[in-house]
Amino acid sequence: MLAEEALGGPAALRATPLQRATGGLTKVVSMPMRAVREGVNRAVDGAQDVGAKARGTVAVLADRTIRLGGAAREVAVSGRDATLERAEAVARREGAAQTADVLHETRQGLETVSASELPIDEYDGLNQQDAIRRIKELNDGADVRTIVAYEESHRNRSSVVSAAQTRVAAIAQELMDG
């Protein structure tokens, strides 16, 4: 080896017969472990893919379920509102004013009255100051609560809602004092 290095070349490294036998034996012994390791890695990768697909599918199904539930609620509420409105109209037509009034109060409580049924004519066209002024002219707490419900579900002007709630409190105080 010293002679090879003296000539300037690297020493030729060759495995000894014992090293070759040990290396071959190591490969043979580790081959089943390598196959098992690769199989486990493939299984884990496959499980991760299935999990990701399952999560995606569940998310899509949950979204569809939520949308379907919302649509079903809209249909049910629309049907309820239309039925109550029609029942009120029939009761008025048939002369059952007390029943019609109860149905109307129910619709008011459910916040299903239209702008044309509000106790203030052309309410939707009023600006904030005019709406507050007209609310202060109301003397029936139920009428004011109807305005509050309508305002909250349509334009939601906080100063108008606040003025209406103040008016309800004032009407209640007037009833207690008087």
Q: How far apart are CA 117 and CA 154, in angstroms?
A: 14
Q: Which of 31-40, 147-156, 165-174 has the highest mean pLDDT?
A: 165-174
Q: How far apart are CA 87 and CA 102, in angstroms?
A: 11
How does DSSP classify residue 8? T
pLDDT band at 106 (very low <50, low <70, confident <90, very high): confident
**Tell me, what's the pLDDT at 173?**
87
Judged by average pLDDT, the poorest of 18-32, 119-133, 139-153 is 18-32
Can you read off the two tokens belonging to residue 168?
A: 């309800």
> In angstroms, what is the C-alpha Rg of the chain?
41
**Section 38-66 average pLDDT:** 87
pTM flag (> 0.75): no
Is residue 86 left, alpha or beta, with left meaning phi > 0 and alpha meaning psi from -120 to 50?
Answer: alpha
State pLDDT tens for residues 63-86: 888 888 888 888 887 888 888 888
State pLDDT tens for residues 111-122: 777 788 888 989
